[in-house]
Structure 1
Amino acid sequence: MTNPSQKLLTVREAAAALQLSSKTIYRAVESGDLPHHRFGRAVRIGLADLEAFANRHRSGGLFQ
């Protein structure tokens, strides 16, 4: 179980944090690439999971 004090974000909040579209976040959720919580139809993403997702998709830098 996730730490109960962990901040959970909506898909819209997660998308804004990464400067991505909500559709991109939903695709990552549905593919299993982005761990999430479902409460009925509501999808919530843990801040730590979002950070790990961003780090997994990090490239070497701008000028490589």
Structure 2
Amino acid sequence: MSLRGPSRPTLPSTEEQGEVGGDRDLYPEDSTKEMPDRQSHRAGQEEMSERLHMIATLTPRR
């Protein structure tokens, strides 16, 4: 069972939590157990921030 892939079966609601502030803030202890290597987690955070940035840029401002 590898958590390296784009889809993480252990954390189904990671994307929803990512918009709020990341699952690491909500579950600091669990995140270290489920994601032992910080590299993959950091990559996920970067991907989420990029997606949010893209959404923000595409959204028309009023």
Q: TM-score, normalised by structure 2?
A: 0.26
Point out the structure with the larger strand share.
1
Choose 1 or 2 for highest CA Rg: 2
Q: TM-score, normalised by structure 1?
A: 0.26
Point out the structure with the larger helix share.
2
